[in-house]
Structure 1
Amino acid sequence: MADAVAAPDVDGTAVHNSNSAALHLLDQYVEDGMLTPMQAATYKDKYTKLSSYVLETYKREKELLKKAKQLNGELLSEKIRLEKQSIRKSEELAMNSNLEKEKEKASKELADCVDRETILTYEITELQREHAELLTRKEDMLAENARQVEPEVRKMTDEIARLGDEAAHISADIHKEERRKNDLVARCESLRVANDALDAANNAEKKVLAKLRGDPERISKQADVVAKAVENLEHEIKRIQDRLSVVNTQCTTQDEKRKEADEVQKELNHKLDVHRDTIDQRQRDVDHVSLLLTDERQTHATRLGDRARLDLALRSAEMTSRRETDRQSSLIKEFDRLKKTLKKKTVQVDSAKSLLPNLEVQVTDAEHQVRAIQAENKKMAADHVDLKQDVDVLIARLFKLDTIEKAKVDELQSLSQRVKDYETELGQWVAEEAKQTKILALLSAQREMKARAASTAIDNEKATQQELKMKELVILDFAKKCNETNNRLKEFSALYDIVKNERNKYVNLIQASSQALAEMKEKIKILHNEVEVLRNESVAKDKALTKERLAHQTAQCSRDSLRLDTNKCHELYRIKQEQVEQQIVQIDKLNSIINVTEKDMLRLKKQYEIAVEARNSTGVQLIDRNDELCILYEKCNIQAKTLTDGELAIQEKEQQSRMLHIKLLDMERQIETIRKKVPLVPEYASKVLSIQHELKQERIVTEMMCRDLETPKNAERWRPLDGDDPDEEQLSAKLAFLEDRFNLKKEMLLEKELVLEEVTNLSDKLRAQAADGRGDTLQLAKKVNTFQVKIKETTRKMMATVSELSMFQATAMKLQQEKHDHEAAFDEAKWNFENGRAPNTQCEHEWYRLEAARLARDDRRALTPLLVPSQITRTTAEPRPNAYVPDELGIPKPYGGAAPFKPTLTGSTMRHIRPPQRRDIEI
């Protein structure tokens, strides 16, 4: 802090010194006549103002630096709090989303429960009403049953007494029939024994006959077998003869092949010489291969080292796996501990939530203050740049005056150099101050963090005491592991010694193998001579080998065929065994399925009985309703029929009136015609007599034909039917059967008539009850319909609200994600800015663009004096008074390159474009 405070003091003294030197220079210029006293006074006033501005700027910078330090410290603390709050807020949002989902599920279940409750209440009221009706019906039916059944019971008791007498008579008849039956059974048994003896004799005779029947067939079959064997032998002889001819042809071919083999042998001898030359070439290849062998041995040794290293790595991996398992167990314990701490943190979160609104207000106030201070800094920096430019202009003018002495010029240059040095030193001190402020902010933040850590350490003291016991156990585990690692280190050192010894052995073996290789080369030369001798022997042995190979191939073929047969048998056995196992499994499955189906069948049987009872009850109700409907339909049909009958009767009467009118007209016409035909009556009378005579003759003929047709003696008029006429016993049995059936049907008819009478009485009562309760049911149906409509409307509204909620949730989650991304980008940009980097790539590109534009402007500014001609008039006028006016004053300034413009008028095509109309979103 002392260094930071000392820097502005030095700068202030530098400013005063520079002002005094400038005033001395101005006095000297006035004494020398270079400036007028008025000009010197104006310059002195300007310098005093500038010095006062500089002092004010330094004071403001001090104050602003202090405020910036305070705000940075507050910002760091608030950022830390905000980060914690953001983490807590994200967790709370996740919890809220889960709670909202559970709330939606619960609301849906509640709505379903309400609907079920309403339906069940309605059903309960209906069932209670039906129960009361059934109770009343039961009482009425019991009363009617008592009234109608008592006379029937008396009749039945009389009939039972009468039937008892008849049963006594029938039992006496039955005893008589049983005695007769026993006599017949004894006689039947004696006849059965005689029949069995006859059957045994018959079977013995049949067996003898069966033996004698099979002999001729057996003899004929043996003869057929002998004939077939003869034929097979003849075929076998022919086949052997064919094979012998084939063998003869093969012998001739073998002779030819032997001749060809001799020629081939000559060619092979020639090739042998060629191969000897190639052997020498191969020897050179062997030498090359020996070199490669040494290299391979070296690689083998390296591979052995790699193997040992891999073994070590494998053991270390095993160790790491054990450590990981131990670590996992420790992490599980740590997880349990963190669960406990989480509960404590939740309590702290609730306390921090209450502090959030005040902190947010403080953050917004701090942001506003920071923005105001930044605006003031920008304005002060602009004023500072303008003052520097004015000083540079005045210094340049002083240099251009010819009357100034060289000593004063040198003094001025030295003073300007000192000013620049002081400014650089000032910049260094300012940078150092900024660094110190950052360090102080970090230290303050660390202090707060340490204070929090101290508070948490006090809170965690108890937890550490509990963990201390666990750590002691962990220390014991680590001691055991340390012992294990020491033991393994000893093992690895022993392995290293073994590998080192093996390596030395392999080096000695390599040297010995190189000596043996030289000896082997000499032996190979000796062996080449022996190879020629052995080659001749190999030719002879090749021939024997071919014969042995043929025999071996035949044996292999037979062996392969036998193996194929055995493999097929094994495969068949395996397939059959698998089938047996599959069938056993299927049997178990089917048994389990049968048990399950039996249980389901019993359950379905119970359900079916319940359903049948419900169906019977509903069927009775449906029958009652159907009867009522039938009666109504019958009444309607009767009334419609009466209407149609009335209309038909009216139509018939109208037709009868028309027909009578027509007949009347016909009668009048006939009367007129008869009046005209009165002279022809005698002729008609004679015709009538002749026709009556013919009619009598025809009737006589018909009587004769009928008599001939009806008399059975006339064989030409009938034919006999196929089949047998039944006997009297059959007809009587059939008649008795039909009489029993008729009696059963009659009894069933009587029962049904009784049931019909009861059902009609009950239907009349139910009809009267239905007529009474029809109005109530209609009102209930209307109420049910209104409730259903309301339920549909409420469900539709609920679905709409649920969809709206899902949309809002989606937008909220999207905005939350965007906020999180922007916060991350802001933190990253801030960190980059604090570390002396660009906040992001866009800012970096923008800075490059601005820097390039600035450099281009500097280049153009440097080229302008070269491009301007030397004869240009230079002004010695004083600068304008508004050139150094601050921005706060509302004095107009020239626009420059970005002058405002008036927008163009809309064209004639815009009249065809309709303005957009905002539409409300309907969900």
Structure 2
Amino acid sequence: MRESKQKMEKYLKQYDGLFRTTHSLTEAMQLQWQKNVELHKENVLVEHELDVKEQQIQTITRDAVKTDKLMEIAESSYKMSKASAPTEKLKLELENLINITLEAEKKQSELLTKKLEEMLREREVLNKMLVKANDRTQATFDLMKIKENTMKNLQNEINGLKAHVKKQRAQIQQLVGEREKYEREAANATQKFMTSLEEAKLQDLQVVSLQQKIVESESRLKQQQNLYEAVRTDRNLYSKQLIESQEEIGDMKRKFKIMNHQIEQLKEEITSKDHALVKEHFDHHKVDKEKEILKNELLRIKKQIQSSEQIILNQEQEVTKLAKIIQEADEEKQRQIKEYGCVVHDRDTLRQQLIQRNEELSVLYEKIKIQKSTLSKGYFQYQEKLKEVTNLQSRIHALTLERDSSNNQLSHEGSLKQELIRLEKELLQEKTKIRALSEELDHPLNVHRWRKLEGSDPKRFEMIRKLQAMQKKLIRRYEETTIKDLLILEKEKLYVELKTILARQPGAEVAEQLVVYKETLKGKQNQMKQMEEELQMYKMQVNEYRHDLGLLEKEKRQIQQEWINRQLKAYSNQFGNERGDGNTLVYGDPASYGNPED
């Protein structure tokens, strides 16, 4: 738009220059016309003076002829007087008379010859002046032709400028249409931005709730550590529970099958994340960070898989080596400590990411200041920003697709819930079995089977009673640990899901960029409004100039018509009557002076 504005200013300046040149040419034409009229008047006066001088010359020639005749008469009378033999007095009188008349005639003839010479000189001067006047008129007609040609060229240039103005109007209309289209796109982008802000607020609330849950899980972990310490004290008593541990091993095998199934699901999630990583190359820095995070998660999951496989091997060895149960419990404790360390590490990484995000926000604020200073650099950067807006729209579209995919994943929760209900039923069945066994231990059918030992071997009887009490206590602890393990698994699943959702959600950078783009778009809209007002003003100026051009065209035509009429009248007055004398000057054909329309 600035380029079109500069072009319009350039064309208006050219139009002003052409208008000034036409005005100056019309003024010069009027001055030349006045000069032509004055020269024509001078020509008429010179012709009149020439006529008067010719009449004077004719009268002088007539007087000279008369004097010649008088001289002849005097000479004849003198001869007659000689022939008649006059007296001396008459001779003297006649001689005196003749001398007087001769002197007078000589003086008159000298005066007449002087006058004739002066008149001839004046006639030559007037002829020269007439020739110069004719040359001047011819030069003025030539100038008139040149100026008329320049007027035609200027008219052609004006027509070209009009056509260019039409093209500029078409371009302006096209730009207005594009502006409306971009306004609609910006409105859609703002709506999407508001929805993403609301989703970000919800995610913040979920993060707060998850942090609270993490704190609760830490407290539970401490309780479990205390419980494990209590179990370590009872390590010597666990060596005598081979039969019951075999049943527990069967249960553990089933659990390990479930764990293998979960591991396969985790592998599928890893492959899906890999595919998502391949697709998300639009922002290199963020993708690299997400890759690092995912690599850490993969390492953690691989460690979990390795630890689970190690647990499977250890528990298969427990069939033959029951003494290693406590060591495996220690290993389980260490694994949970490692997981706790991983959780702490993830928390630290999240803190580092928050710090990095804050640093990136500070960098972005500096960039915003730089962009505010560079906003005045023009239309080219405006187009780049529009391209960035389109990229952001595509990114928002990709985020919506990811959200839909996450919703689809959430739609599969029904099957998982059914499986969870099935597992809970199995757990209740196992609990009922354990209760039945515990009731059998509390209320045995053969009550009197230990009476022999009570009388014969009381120490052994006490050891058996203690063993039964420890078995009951171990069953209760085992139930509590299974319940806590299930709770920990659920918390871990929730934590992983929320982590993936948070990783997919747009960060504060996108929000800041959208705010910046919204502000720039408002500025551009204000600029477009100003440019529309300027365009309306230029349209009004163009209409005024067109009106002025129409008036000038009418005035030019009127002046040309008046000039033609005056020329025709002048030529008709000048050449209407042909002169009979040979000394009269003959002028050229008026057609030789040219038509002012040529």
**Normalising by structure 2, what TM-score?**
0.28
**Normalising by structure 1, what TM-score?**
0.19
Larger Rg: 1 or 2? 1
